[in-house]
Amino acid sequence: MRDALANFDAIAAGLDRRPPVLFLDYDGTLTPIVDDPEAAILEPAMQDRLKDLATRFRVAVVSGRDLEDVRKRVGINGLFYAGSHGFDIQGPDTRLEQPRARDYLPVLEAAERQLHEHFDGKPGVLLERKHFSIAVHYRRVSEADQPAIRECVTASANRKNLRITHGKKVIELQPPVAWDKGHALLWLMKALAVDPDAVTPFYFGDDITDEDAFKALPPHGVGILVGGHEGPSVARYRLADPAAVAHWFDRLLASTY
Ligand SMILES: [Mg+2]
């Protein structure tokens, strides 16, 4: 995997013909990973960069967070936001709630009650209900106790016929619907009325769920893995951390595309 800063000129070479469209994950990409997901606040300097980028390019934020949560955290009007790993999308005059996922809301509610029974009072486990997902964060649990938590959540998902996705020290229950960040990216391209052949879609992400989006990019698209995760990646480029993402954005803003 090549470094996206060292190869900036090569990446940017075709952007005058095919302008960039930016798809950005939030946690670990625009903000550093922190112990408490609540504490992942967007730095004002990064927010200013995003505002500048949005005046010149189309920008969408594609996050595992609840739609309202990520929208508030980024706090810029006029962007497209995809929450719950793309199950819930909102943009100017656009809204998509995955209809098949909506059928599973009562099942998610039942699973949420069950997980609360298991984990309430368990130190270090943080349950986060999102509209279309339940996240069980276990970063603050000792390494020795983490497998038991994953097993418990997996068993609960199996009983309820829900899907499991793994992230960085988080395991999530989702509707068993074939929809992910990759599907969301393709849907967003349509919603943005962009011809994928006429633009260069970029996707920046740091986690396993971002791999679906890297895979969905057209051949001339640019996948940039920020930091890394435990699995293999299909991204062509990498950046070390959100600070390197900030530098890359600055290079793009300083260019004339
Ligand atoms: Mg992330």
Q: What is the pLDDT of residue 55?
A: 96
Token pair of 243, please?
A: 């600070």
Given CATH 3.40.50.1000, say whether it is the number of domain 2-97+179-254: yes
Q: What is the pLDDT of residue 35?
A: 85
Q: What is the pLDDT of residue 8?
A: 97
CA nearest 162: which of 22, 208, 171, 199? 171
- 245 CA distance to ligand 1 middle (Å): 13
Taking the whole predicted model, whether its pTM rises above 0.85 is answered as: yes
Q: What is the pLDDT of residue 118?
A: 94
SS3 182: helix
Catalytic residue numbers, as ranges = 25
Q: What is the pLDDT of residue 30?
A: 98
Q: What is the pLDDT of residue 42?
A: 97
Give the residue range(s) of CATH 3.30.70.1020 domains in the chain. Answer: 101-174
- 63 CA distance to ligand 1 middle (Å): 7
Question: Mean pLDDT of successive 10-residue segments in the chain (257 residues)?
Answer: 97 94 98 91 98 96 96 96 95 89 96 96 93 95 96 96 94 95 95 91 97 97 96 97 98 89
- 228 CA distance to ligand 1 middle (Å): 10
- 28 CA distance to ligand 1 middle (Å): 5
Which residues have a Cβ under 8 Å from the Cβ of 117 and sit 6 or more positions away? none
SS3 31: strand
Q: What is the pLDDT of residue 93?
A: 86
Give the residue range(s) of CATH 3.40.50.1000 domains in the chain. Answer: 2-97+179-254
CATH class of 101-174: alpha beta
| Torsion angle (degrees, nearest 10) of CA 60, 66, 69, 75 | 10
